[in-house]
Amino acid sequence: MNATDGLLLATTDTAKELKTGIHMHVAEIAYENQFVTETQKVDHGTVIHLEKIQFLHDNLLAAHTVWVNPAEGWCQSISLPCCCNENAWIFTYKRCLMLASVSLGTDGAPSNNRMSRVDEMYLASLINKGREVHTNGTTDPTALPAETVLKLNGDFKL
């Protein structure tokens, strides 16, 4: 919401030219989506607008994507303490894989009180298994197996 479309597209062009990625906070706060919806005349907010201007590419790392709708994406632990957004409970790992590349990471301690990748692995597994119980009324240990959680951490070593 703080950059013009021209700047965003120039950033995309430069990143392609340099063969690098783009890191950007996207849909981090509810007001951002409200602002983008009103000023850019889109249905929901930032993610929809970025798609409309063809900014979304596989080199974009969208951080803190908390305020998204079910068609847009998922963010795990940052959404829990920061805003109690009901959308934090909508997305499962299986749905995420259909939408985008998924990885786990940590956030700064002021946002979620820790910077432990082990804690993030535990929380990802717990949330997904809990969501299965809520949705299907039964536990599913394969909702997010330990092997998959380790893969989501890339180079993480125990």
Do residues 55 and 10 lie in contact, with contact meaning Cβ atoms separated by under 8 Å? Answer: no
pLDDT at 62 over 90: no
Spatial neighbors of 52 by CB under 8 A, at least 6 apart, are: 40, 42
Number of domains in the chain: 2
Q: Taking the model in full, what pTM does it have?
A: 0.61
Tell me the range of 32-41, 62-71, 85-94 where mean pLDDT is highest: 32-41
Which residues, 6 or more positions from 68, have their beta carbon under 8 angstroms from its beta carbon?
27, 45, 47, 74, 75, 87
Residues 155 and 103 in one domain: yes
Structure tokens given for 75: 């963010």
Work out the average pLDDT over 11-39.
92
Based on the domain organization, do 11 and 59 belong to the same domain? yes
Residue 128 lies in a domain: yes
Q: Which domain does 64 fall in, by range?
A: 1-72
Using the structure block, give the residue that is written with the tokens 């951002």.
32
- Residue 106 sits in the same domain as residue 45: no
Q: Is residue 9 assigned to a domain? A: yes
- Say yes or no: 106 and 154 in one domain: yes
pLDDT at 35 over 90: yes
Whether residue 17 lies inside any domain: the answer is yes
- Is the confidence at residue 158, as pLDDT, over 70? no
Answer yes or no: do 55 and 103 share one domain. no
